[in-house]
Chain A
Amino acid sequence: MLDINNLKVSIAGKSILKGVSLHVKPGEIHAIMGPNGSGKSTLASVLTGREFAEVTEGTVTYMGNNLLEMSPEDRAKEGIFLGFQYPIEIPGVSMVNFMKTAVNEKRKHHGLDPLSASDFLKMMREKKELVEIDSKLANRSVNEGFSGGEKKKNEIFQMAMLEPKLAILDETDSGLDIDALRIVANGVNKLKKADNSFIVITHYQRLLDHIIPDVVHVLYDGRIVKTAGKELALELEAKGYDWIKKEVENNVIA
């Protein structure tokens, strides 16, 4: 589904990703962990087409297409979803209007008729229940005045609405209370199908207790320095990153 090969990215001339390779097959859940500033969000930005980061080398293929050549909205319409680490507020734009446009744009892209107003509202209602989001939130402007946790839940709600093939969740767990964490995780699990995949960026094992990853990667200083099964997350939780950093340094010396 997604093939990243030797991806190098720099921001304002500073090299941030230094050769990342990652292969995601349909139905897989990948977790990416790594210390602050290691480049996780940058990777997510590049995958969704945010332009401040410059790709200097490498390829990204998504379902057989060169992803890097696609516009952000085409990527979205082709099924890539990003749950932002810091969702932005858009005053005056109602959630309903926002989502309706997004859903119908996607339908148009796939040759479907737009949803009728009543079908759309029905869908909203269902998905709201799915992610247990307060229905009042959906009546407000996009993220405006939402608490940190509410913003994150709202991202999951949008994911549910858009039914992506590849969802990238950038620290969607941070700022969530315990119940919300469970809700988010359940939301993800309910959306999980045989053919859709997730990349979950997180710092904590607790999310991975609910969303069981197939693979865990550690991104460190712009490189994936370790890839293993779900037990890696536990090990990181227990030991922190120092041992990995040491391993990396030793490798360099060796």
Chain B
Amino acid sequence: MDKDQDKILDEVTTGEYKYGFHSDIESEQIQKGLSEDVVRIISAKKNEPDWLLEFRLKAYRHWLTMKMPAWPNLKIPVINYQDIIFYSAPKQKPKLNSLDEIDPELKRTFDKLGIPLEEQKHLAGVAVDAVMDSVSVKTTFREALAEMGIIFCSFSDAVHEYPDLVKRYMGTVVPYTDNFFASLNSAVFSDGSFCYIPKGVRCPMELSTYFRINAANTGQFERTLLVADEESYVSYLEGCTAPSRDENQLHAAIVEIIAEKNSEVKYSTVQNWYPGDKDGKGGIFNFVTKRGMCRGENSKISWTQIETGSAITWKYPSCILRGDNSTGEFYSVAVTNNHQQADTGTKMIHIGKNTKSTIVSKGISAGKGQNSYRGLVKILKNASNARNFSQCDSLLLGDKCGAHTFPYLEVDNQTAIVEHEATTSKIGEDQIFYCNQRGISTEDAIGMIVNGYAREVINKLPMEFAVEAQKLLQISLEGSVG
């Protein structure tokens, strides 16, 4: 059976990336490279107020003093920042009045990705902000949401229309000094989504941002800011794809979430950036800083991520549990196949009393993929009755991949209970045989078992996306997974 299994694994891993096409869209780009001038140009292009330019410049100057981190267990080729285009926007008229004014090719691209920009065509109950390269091209349902006081728009619009909100919250969870890529993003971020749910409002639809890299040689640096005011609720989903190219492209984003008293934010990601080909050529470097702050009592932030794409993924969606009784959750499935590397996990910082956190991480490694879980659970001295439970499992498919688990548990309070469990194992031959005996082929059996293994996390996704995620999981493992 071993040989068969290897063969099937092999077939499964040679599955093609479905979103690798490139659209011919005229874009407006600036010169390659990074300098203070480039930062100023980006800011000028976006007509930004001075305070924002100042913020960018401070970030840029700070970035210059920093060194690219040398992360253990990741092999990252040298990135030449002078070789990246930091701003690229699909050419279109400056103000959109109706859908007809969107470049038809642009619309076609999003249609092809399954993200129709016409509201009536879109999945009921999902509002989308579509971002291509450096700018947001369309936000659907904006008006409908506005009636409830919900602000959902591109980051650039927010800067002009709601400068006070942006000023009040931007950089409060991820300061521009936070880390190398966060500083870089703070200097050159181009667009992204902004969302504000007012007091007492439950957002009636899923909000979603879809990120697409299209142009070559560009980096994507978006910034998402999500504020849930007291007693509010929102579920937010982020998806992304990119064309298949031989060069690596850099994606360095920031997501900040603020949850006030009694509010709840669910943030889901289905990450499917181009992973590179099966020899490890090309693919996105996905270096992202995501962090949520449970500021108010009883607030809750829940991260769910399905990570199947990117050549290298480095991200740790985290929760700072400041409010008493606040809750943080992290549910993750990360798949690495071929030459992909993923280093992902979370940080749960317990500051308030009676704070709770749950971590469920499922790594799946196939081919030559390397998959690491890296997580920190920190219970501060005053966080009495804090609870954390972490479960980190790794599934290995094939004998050339690796699975690593690096949890850090720092406990400074006697009343805390912190538990971490992890297992690493191969897909069960007994389980495969049991399925075989019922007439199910090894390939299907593997698909079923992997999906079963990831089920706990997939179930946390909004319904519409769970199905998508399940398929994605199968595709990512196609040709390689056992």
B15-23, B78-86, B208-216, B449-457 - interface stretch? B449-457
B440 partner residues in chain A, CB cutoff 8 A: 73, 98, 101-102, 105
The 8 A CB mask of A93-137 against B (1 = contact, 0 = none) is: 110011101100110010000000000000000000000000000
5 smallest CB-CB distances across A and B, nearest first, come from A92-B452, A93-B452, A72-B436, A76-B439, A92-B455
Distance in Å: Cβ of A177 to nearest Cβ of chain B:
24
- Cβ-closest chain A residue relative to B459: A92
Asked whether B436 lies within 8 Å of A76 as measured between CB atoms, the reply is yes
Which of B1, B435, B438, B449 meets A51, CB within 8 Å? B1
A139 within 8 A of B: no
A197 within 8 A of B: no
Per DSSP, are chain B's interface residues mostly helix, strand or loop, or mixed?
Answer: helix
A241 within 8 A of B: no
The 8 A CB mask of B439-482 against A (1 = contact, 0 = none) is: 11110100011011111100000000000000000000000000
Asked whether B453 lies within 8 Å of A92 as measured between CB atoms, the reply is yes
B442 partner residues in chain A, CB cutoff 8 A: 73
Complexed CA–CA distance, A76 and B452 (Å): 22
Beyond A90-B434, A101-B448, whether A162 also contacts B453 by CB under 8 A is: no
Asked whether B436 lies within 8 Å of A87 as measured between CB atoms, the reply is no
Beyond A88-B428, A91-B453, A92-B455, whether A76 also contacts B438 by CB under 8 A is: yes
A71-B436, A77-B439, A142-B434 known; 5 new pairs, CB 8 Å cut-off, are: A72-B433, A73-B441, A76-B436, A92-B455, A93-B451
A77 partner residues in chain B, CB cutoff 8 A: 439
B: number of interface residues (CB 8 Å): 24
Beyond A51-B1, A92-B456, whether A97 also contacts B448 by CB under 8 A is: yes
Report B's interface with A, CB cutoff 8 A: 1, 4, 428, 430-431, 433-442, 444, 448-449, 451-456
The 8 A CB mask of A68-94 against B (1 = contact, 0 = none) is: 000111011100011010011011111
Asked whether B448 lies within 8 Å of A102 as measured between CB atoms, the reply is no
| Count of inter-chain pairs, beta carbons less than 8 A | 80
Asked whether A73 lies within 8 Å of B434 as measured between CB atoms, the reply is no
A245 within 8 A of B: no
B430 partner residues in chain A, CB cutoff 8 A: 88
Complexed CA–CA distance, A90 and B438 (Å): 14
A50 within 8 A of B: yes
- Cβ-closest chain B residue relative to A158: B438
A49 partner residues in chain B, CB cutoff 8 A: 436-437
Beyond A88-B428, A91-B453, A97-B448, whether A162 also contacts B436 by CB under 8 A is: no
B428 partner residues in chain A, CB cutoff 8 A: 88, 90
B455 partner residues in chain A, CB cutoff 8 A: 92-93
Distance in Å: Cβ of B91 to nearest Cβ of chain A:
47
Which of A82, A91, A92, A141 meets B437, CB within 8 Å? A82
Distance in Å: Cβ of A94 to nearest Cβ of chain B:
8
Give 22 A-B contacts (CB < 8 Å), ordered by A residue. Answer: A48-B437, A51-B1, A72-B433, A73-B435, A75-B437, A76-B437, A82-B437, A87-B434, A88-B431, A90-B431, A91-B453, A92-B449, A92-B452, A92-B454, A92-B456, A93-B449, A93-B455, A98-B448, A99-B438, A101-B448, A102-B438, A109-B439
- Cβ-closest chain B residue relative to A144: B452
B441 partner residues in chain A, CB cutoff 8 A: 73, 105
Asked whether A72 lies within 8 Å of B437 as measured between CB atoms, the reply is yes
Complexed CA–CA distance, A88 and B427 (Å): 13
Complexed CA–CA distance, A51 and B433 (Å): 9
Complexed CA–CA distance, A51 and B432 (Å): 12
B1 partner residues in chain A, CB cutoff 8 A: 51
Which of B4, B438, B452 meets A91, CB within 8 Å? B452
